[in-house]
Structure 1
Amino acid sequence: MDERLLNDDDVTLYGLFVEAFTRLKPLVHHDLGVPDTWFEVLLRLGRTPEHRLRMTDLAEAVSFSSGGFTRLADRMEKAGLIRRDPDPADRRAALAVLTEEGGEALDRAMAVHVAHLRTRVTGPLSADDRRDLERILRVLRDAAG
């Protein structure tokens, strides 16, 4: 084994990033009232103008295959949180639309989520740390395409 590579600073930095995310995700998604994957969909729709997205775009945004996302959307639609409307710009496509019930579920989840974020993620950071972290995360996101 190559000890230099095993102890490389970049490997350590990435490992810390993964460990922090892995530990934080269940803490900030605790007690949201909906499953994690549903929360991600509701959040994307809630933050989008008119609270609607093409199904394929939404599936990509939440890192789901189209088939997996279709099954997820079926369950969310059955629960009354989203509905599917035809896309007026492309009759072959459908839009996922946040329902009133979905908006209410998102509001309840967001109140809990923001409290968890302020306790677990942003609370331990100084204002400068927060600005630096945001800048760094945007650079990493954009570099990854």
Structure 2
Amino acid sequence: MIDALAATVPPDEAAPPTVRFPAESPPPAVLVVSGPGAAVRPHSLPVAGPSPFAASLPFPQTRTAPMAARCPADAGTIDVFPGERLSSLDDFVRLQLASRRITFLSVLDREGISPEYYTEMTRRLDALMREVPALGEEFELRLRLAEGRAA
């Protein structure tokens, strides 16, 4: 039956073969913060009390980006680009840490972010960190906390 159907379709109109790869789900990654058994998800950064820099930042500390549905916000989230896919400082920290485990293009692909968009957003973040030095200090603090190093 299939051979009969294939014979009715001229070769130049035949659809190209479709190659399907299995959908990969990201591996369950866990960061060890400190001490035996102390672990958090990489997108939920540990915050020991309120951030020393959060009060001096002119940004709301809530998350409004589409990524918020997948990454629950904690009390210390700093929203630097409201409404953008990469809206919070923690999003940038999480992507930077994930890129150390696998290739960076794989990280962007899993997040559904194009390299061009990421480049533009990091330029904007860099400009903000130059304008507001406390934001750069907060980024470094969160990066150290996520890596498991003491502040």
Query: Please, what TM-score do these two structures have when normalized by structure 1?
Result: 0.30
> Which structure would you say has the larger Rg?
2
**Which structure carries more strand by proportion?**
1
Higher relative contact order (CA 8 A, sep 6+): 1
**Which structure carries more helix by proportion?**
1
